[in-house]
Structure 1
Amino acid sequence: METKENWYDQSQINPNAKNAGKGFKDEGRDPWKHRSSGMQCRTCMFYVRKKNASEVAGSAEIGRCKRNAPTMDGYPVVFPTDWCGSHKLDEEKLLCG
């Protein structure tokens, strides 16, 4: 019987892998660590930057996430450096900076 500890075995995916037979938990590293830097709200197609945020002195840049339908309070407020699992890359935002 397989335990939850061993559910991700690299040898099942690529038997010729350098660390075949070792799961990521055994290696002590996070395979998703590097992805959070490129998958931030600022590059997401659902992120809409608040236009007048720069007019208010001392305010940080904020925006709204329009991934899901709005609640009674409107769309959720997010920072451009936030990220989630529903990120969809917007090529126009990536190219324009």
Structure 2
Amino acid sequence: MEQIANWVAPIATTLAALLVAANLGARITGIGFIAFAVGSVGWMVIGAATGQANLIWQNAVLLLVNILGVWRWLGLRARYDKGAAAATRATL
């Protein structure tokens, strides 16, 4: 499990940073936060395997932040975007 986490954690975190920084819309940003959450879990596995409690705690907090990001960008923001699109169509 640690070997998989050693690959998944940095790849997911890097991919997530690219997706969020690109700011290509609510869906892509939300997917970025999902990738960040996967990375956080990977880093927590690495922390547990190597006895680094600080890495576990840091990424546990980041996991909560990332879950908030998923909710905001895939839940709340997506609803705003749909409402804005519907309002635009209604005015045409």
Q: Is TM more than 0.5 here? A: no
What range is the shorter-chain TM-score in? Answer: under 0.3
Q: What TM-score, normalized to structure 2?
A: 0.21
Larger RCO of the pair (alpha carbons < 8 Å, separation 6+): 2
Bigger helix fraction = 2
Whose radius of gyration is greater, 1 or 2?
Answer: 1
Q: What TM-score, normalized to structure 1?
A: 0.21
